[in-house]
Chains A and B, each alone.
Chain A
Amino acid sequence: MIEADEIPLRRLAAAIRGRVIGMSAQAKTAHLGSALSCVDILVAAYWKILRLDPSKSGDPLRDRLILSKGHAVSALYATLAERGFFPMAWLDQYNQPGGRLPEQPFPGCLPGVEAATGSLGHGLPLGTGMALAAKIRNQSFRVFVLMSDGECNEGAVWESAMFAPAKKLDNLCVMVDFNRWQATDRSLEVMSLEPLAEKFRAFGWDAVETDGHDIGSLIDALSKTGAVPGKPLAVIAHTVKGKGVSFMEDDNNWHYRSPNAEEVARARKELGLQD
């Protein structure tokens, strides 16, 4: 069943990548590589995992997704628009002064944006609190937190990593977009991240590793949320920064650059998007 679904989901991911590239070009914003690396994770989560109704973004029982790597929010904006949380035309406001779609989100900026992020290491503690809230009230919703690998440098991440299993928050899932780059260096050279899944296991989590661009595998991995009673789940998604565009893939210059018109056209062509 998942396989049959995969083709439209892949097309959706390509469309979102196209929007994200267009937004970066138009607004001249950075962090394009980081946004492209997490698109498939967002597609798997928003179309196949999260129990929510985009027309009821304030439903107290909705599943929550916090984009803790707030610098990649263009990918979240485009995903939420595609998923029907707000009109696609709103994306034109991206990074427009006075608008609702800043380069990093403010609280309540848009339906579906659960938290203001941009400083790393805040999403997991917030999500942990939300998961605890569900447990206290015996509510069924789950909380998904999408982090970057560089973000795992932050000590607060590991504070939450110790807290969540101690409080048996099996309604919590952390997804690490492990694209092996942080702002200025290879993440494994900056900090000793590996073995990341083992680290989470050692902290008391259930953990799975997956290809972060294989939507079917991502769905399988994320579906394990709550599978082990009492244990939160860590999904280590191995990704490529700048995924989807050959000349952006694994090139960290795209942490900073925005594409020109010619590059946008080439990228769209590679993504199989019509102009």
Chain B
Amino acid sequence: MRNAFAQVITELAATCPEVVLLSGDIGNRLFDRFKAAHPARFYNGGVAEANLVGVASGLAMNGFRPFVYTIASFITYRVVEQIRLDCAYHHQPVTLVGTGAGLSYASLGATHHTLEDIGMLRCIPSLKILCPGDAVELRSLLPLILAQPDPVYLRIGKKGEPVVHQKKNLALEIGRALPVREGRDAVILTTGNMLPVGVETAGILTARGISTGALSFHTVKPLDEQTLADCFASHRGVFTLEEHSVVGGFGTAVAEWLGEHPSPKAVFRRFGSPDAFIHEATEQDHARKRFGLTPPQLAEQIEKILAKS
């Protein structure tokens, strides 16, 4: 997703003179093309995220469309107040791009794990939270960000991730979930980089006789309530899947909705990371396995839940 971001933001800057890219001293060589094409609109702000977010808002107050790009854990946890006040309270169209979200940088330890960011940011008024499922979704979402007026947290993964969508571009809508796979019995609602895992899990379940669909909730906020209503009305199992803690994230958002719109038909379960830090050397696949977030583990859990319901 990282490379897709660099490519598309460079293209968008060519047609939109308001685009400014601020980097938190990461992306070595990643933005060389951007820098060459738009030297007055790229700034490395160093490892000083509070300043960077304030600078972005100051630019936005003067008509620019800044994108602040750095590691997801740093552009969220460290600067929650700057996001809340400088961007959201002032209602400035700043896009905070968190790369390496979730467990993408699992081997670097909990300093780089981003498993609580959605929970922290979801309650900030006016801030949109976008978590594309793959590079194709990211490409399709970026122009839409420029066409809307709110601050955005764009939560992306790393490079070389599986691409789910075969088309080059998708007709996406911010706040509207994307059906990826049909299924009559159960449906897996994924957000962010768990889309390929959700699709594969749905495939395993379907092969075992449980027709399972998958949707990409590339937008966590605003939540697509209409699609939730449809999913809960037409399936006997609805499952959320995210590389984020089960506390406060996408699954919690769905649970909040479900609490006020009870489903007589469907069982519901959240899949994500537990409410705990990781205190061992790990890497993304290892951590996912530990948390039961691989397709075979998920399929087995869902099968059991549905058998009991």
Q: Chain A residues in contact with chain B, CB under 8 A? A: 60, 106-107, 114-116, 119, 121-122, 124-134, 136-137, 155-156, 159-160, 162-163, 167
Contacts and interface: CB of A to CB of B under 8 A. Distances in A.
A127 B58 contact: yes
Given A119-B85, A136-B20, A136-B64, A129 B58 contact: yes
A156 B50 contact: yes
B40 interface: yes
B46 interface: yes
B54 interface: yes
Given A122-B54, A132-B58, A136-B20, A159 B48 contact: yes
- For the residues of A in contact with B, the DSSP-based class is helix
Nearest to B54: A125
Interface string B31-55: 0000000001101011010111111
B59 A132 contact: yes
Contacts of A115: 61, 90
Nearest to A143: B58
B112 interface: no
B55 A128 contact: yes
Interface-centre pick from A114, A115, A129, A155 (highest chain B CB count, 10 A): A129
A238 B305 CA distance: 69
Contacts of B50: 121, 125, 155-156, 159
Contacts of B205: none
Contacts of B82: 122, 125, 156
Contacts of B20: 136
Interface of B: 20, 40-41, 43, 45-46, 48, 50-64, 66, 81-82, 85-86, 89-91
B214 to A, nearest CB: 41
B43 A129 contact: no
Contacts of A131: 58
A129 B41 contact: no
A163 B86 contact: no
Contacts, number: 95
Contact of B57 (A60, A106, A129, A156): A129
Given A107-B91, A136-B20, A136-B40, A163 B64 contact: no
Nearest to A115: B90
Given A121-B50, A124-B54, 15 more contacts: A60-B63, A116-B85, A125-B53, A126-B86, A129-B54, A129-B55, A129-B61, A133-B58, A155-B50, A156-B50, A159-B48, A159-B52, A160-B54, A163-B51, A163-B55
Contacts of B60: 129
A98 B150 CA distance: 25
29 contacts: A60-B63, A116-B89, A119-B81, A119-B85, A122-B54, A122-B82, A122-B85, A125-B50, A125-B51, A125-B52, A126-B54, A128-B58, A129-B54, A129-B61, A130-B61, A132-B43, A132-B58, A136-B20, A136-B40, A136-B41, A136-B59, A159-B48, A159-B50, A160-B54, A160-B55, A162-B48, A163-B45, A163-B55, A167-B43
A134 B62 contact: yes
B296 to A, nearest CB: 46
B86 A133 contact: no
A111 to B, nearest CB: 15
Pairs A-B, 7 closest by C-beta atoms? A129-B58, A125-B54, A159-B51, A133-B62, A159-B48, A129-B55, A156-B50
Contacts of B41: 136
Contacts of A122: 54, 82, 85-86
Contact of A125 (B46, B55, B63, B66): B55
A128 B51 CA distance: 8
A169 to B, nearest CB: 10
Nearest to A131: B58
B48 A163 contact: yes
Contacts of B48: 159, 162-163
A129 B86 CA distance: 11
B61 A125 contact: no
B63 A133 contact: yes
A124 B40 CA distance: 21
Nearest to B51: A159
Contacts of B64: 133, 136
Nearest to A135: B40
A163 B63 CA distance: 21
A133 B65 CA distance: 11
A153 to B, nearest CB: 13
Contacts of B85: 116, 119, 122
